[in-house]
Amino acid sequence: MFSLPCFLCVGTTWMQEILPLILSGGDPASVETLPNWDRVPWLEETRASSLKLEERPSPRLFTTHFHYNMMPPSFFQVKPKVVYVMRNPKDVFTSSFHYYNITSFLVKPGSQSEFLQKFLTGKVIFGSWFDHVKGWLNAKEELQIMYISYEEMIKDLNDSVSRIAQFLGKSLEPDVLKKIADKCLFKNMKNNPMSNYSVVPQEFMDQTKTQFLRKGVAGDWRNLLTPEEAQHFDAVFKEKMKDVNYKFNWD
């Protein structure tokens, strides 16, 4: 079972909180005893090989930023359930810009205009947002994929948690689903040291500049992009996604 986020955004961290709680029937220990990168490990990180994942009971959770065409052959043989999270790319850009500025292991983004050009041309970690989304939206029909947006979860987290649980085949009582949604509210995740990256040494992630979990809102790009930059972004989006037959749930 996979949680497939779209690039650097709190949607990734959100799924690393929601899915363990659903599978554990709402047990808070599932998100309070392990940091999120160990409870839902990354396929692209070597750390996963040291976690003895084969000893974990099925279903196991993984997350990745891999493009669809980068997934290993075993993925297509097993056909696990996939939760693919999408987010307004202008907010992905905004989140990434702040994230790049607090990490020591990524190239500094440069000026906002420089980073915008890099983002729109795919010269950033994990490559093009447009190619990533198009690849997963065009995934083979026999795969079990649930597409959900960050904006949908903000609008109605209770409903989103309920739909995710249903997709995973996990039958939970309404009060349990409500408790899971409450536990996964941004303010609560921000206070969970196993989720807010506060245990990461400052030499790798300097949260004195800005917190990893910053705002947890939709539309923050309006506080960063100029009207001209936003217009240019929209033009690139329109051109890059012109052949995509999917209704995105954001403004």
Which is the catalytic residue, given 65, 98, 132, 232?
65
Find residue 3's DSSP bridge partners.
Answer: 63, 83
* Nearby residues of 113 by Cβ (< 8 Å), 6 or more positions away: 229
Report phi then psi at 42, rounded to 5: -85, 130
Q: Which two tokens stand for residue 18?
A: 């929601």
Exposure string for 179-198, b = 16+ CB within 10 A, e = fewer: bbbebbebeebbebebbbbb
Catalytic: 232?
A: no
Token representation of residue 39: 């409870």
User: Residue 225 in contact with residue 95, Cβ under 8 Å?
Assistant: no
Q: End-to-end CA distance of the chain: give it in Å, rounded.
A: 30
How far, in Å, CA of 177 to CA of 98, rounded?
32
Find, among 25, 55, 19, 58, the residue nearest to 39 by Cα.
19
Q: Distance between CA atoms of 96 and 251, rounded to whole angstroms?
A: 19
- Cβ–Cβ under 8 Å, residues 59 and 123: no
User: Using alpha carbons only, what angle is made at residue 200 by residues 133 and 4, rounded to the nearest 5 degrees?
Assistant: 20
Residue 62, SS3? strand
Are the C-beta atoms of 62 and 42 separated by less than 8 Å? yes
Active-site residues: which are they? 65
